[in-house]
Structure 1
Amino acid sequence: MLNNKTEAYQLLSRLGASERLLTHVKLVGEAAEILISSFEELDLQFDANLIRLGVAVHDAGKILHPDELDGPGSLHEPAGEKMLLEQGVQTAVARCCVTHAQWQHGDLSLEEFTVAAADKLWKGKREAELELKLIQAIAIQKQVDHWDIFTSLDDVFETIATDGSARLQRSRLMTRS
């Protein structure tokens, strides 16, 4: 069982995560923290720790499939979930290994949509369909029209994405040292 992102990073290290993978999940975590802050400002009911843990481990399967760090592939998704479950990680956290990439399918929680969005936004990529699903999940919880949420969250998404190239640059620098 994981209690915080430090424990998640330690688990990834014990399982053989490269510095590059650890850097990646930490940079995705920066994007997630901005989303978490915006959710707190909206007075949402959500599990910030699930988001933090989900982001920290979402690419755990790349330990077993390191070629997917640089190239395409989805083998890391179920492999990561299975590996984490075998380590006693909570089901909801381990599930983020799959849902961060397969957010189009199934009934996802607000937290899972947030992990998926952070994984896109950290590098400056906007994914309109994913962002709308997240906005809709929030609008349903707040019992408001999605347009009441759209403007403020669209600004947050843009702010995160705008800093994406700087995070990518830091990613490259951090993995070289």
Structure 2
Amino acid sequence: MQPLPDDVHELLTALDAPPRLVAHLRAVHDVACVLTEVLADRYPALGFDRAAVRYGAATHDIGKVVHRDELTGPGSRHEPAGEALLVARGIAPGLARFAGTHGSWTAPHTTIDDHLVSLADKIWKAKRVEDLEDLVTARIAVDCGIARWEAFSGLDDILDAIAAGADERLAYQARHPA
């Protein structure tokens, strides 16, 4: 599993982030690393910012240090809180935004980068979300000049391969206390 970026690890330590949150962010970051590498190799014309997606995956749930009840239960208060926390800590708004957008991929202002962070946050545990995958499929088809069915088939193969490791990632996260 890929380690979190040093600055993210330092931030999580400074915020006294719960071990479960750190484990979750590491698992989603690892998936984002794999996802962005495979997408860049398979679809070199797909326009996305690999570094931004990876950073977004590494910090997307950081607002849960403020709303700790959302570590083990549902809620979305952590999204704006995480974005605000990152900006307050000097993180560029363009990177901090992922904490706010990872749960709202259908919002009109979201980009392929936002969609890939959201996708990593779902597929790490083998959850498939059709409308999210449709957004990514459409972008692959347009950017790469291929038929939509071809883009769908390729993305489906990539996501199936990543999802195959979900049990191991879930077990890794579960070993860390909330």
Name the TM-score, length of structure 1 as normaliser: 0.91
- 1:162 equivalent in alignment to 2:164: yes
Residue identity in the other structure for 2:6: T
- Aligned AA (1:90): A
1:141 to 140, 143, 164: 143
Q: 1:66 aligns with which of 52, 65, 68?
A: 68
The structural deviation recorded for 1:114 is 0.5
Cα distance in 1 between the residues matched to 2:108 and 2:7: 29
Contact 2:23 2:172 in 1 (8 A): no
Structure 1 contact 28–118 (Cα < 8 Å) conserved: yes
Q: Give 1:24's aligned residue.
A: 24
The separation in 2 between residues aligned to 1:46 and 1:130, in whole angstroms, is 16
Aligned to 2:34: 34
The aligned length equals: 172
**Correspondence 1:89 to 2:91:** yes
RMSD: 1.4
- Deviation digits for residues 130-157 of structure 1, max 9, x if unmatched? 1111111222222333222111110111
Secondary structure, counterpart of 1:106 in structure 2: coil
Contact kept in structure 2, 1:46 and 1:110, CA below 8 Å: yes
Deviates most, 164-173 or 70-79: 164-173
Equivalent residues of 1:5, 1:52 under 8 A apart: no
AA aligned to 1:53 is Y
User: Identity over the aligned pairs, expressed in percent?
Assistant: 36
Q: Distance in 2 between matches of 1:16 and 1:103?
A: 29
For 1:5 and 1:40, the matched residues in 2 are separated by 20
Corresponding residue for 1:48?
Answer: 50
Contact 1:12 1:57 in 2 (8 A): no
- Judged with a 3 Å threshold, the aligned counterparts in structure 2 of structure 1 residues 143 and 108 are, in CA distance, closer, same or farther, namely farther
Query: Structure 2 length normalisation: TM-score?
Result: 0.91
Gaps of 5+ in 1: none
Question: Counterpart of 1:62 in structure 2: which amino acid?
Answer: K
Q: How does 1:103-122 map to 2 (within 5 A)?
A: 103-122=105-124
The 10-residue stretch of structure 1 (124-133 or 104-113) with the greater mean CA deviation from structure 2? 104-113
Structure 1 counterpart of 2:5: 5
Which deviations, in whole Å up to 9, do the C-alpha atoms of 1:75-118 show, x marking residues without a partner?
A: 10000001111111111211101111011222321111000000
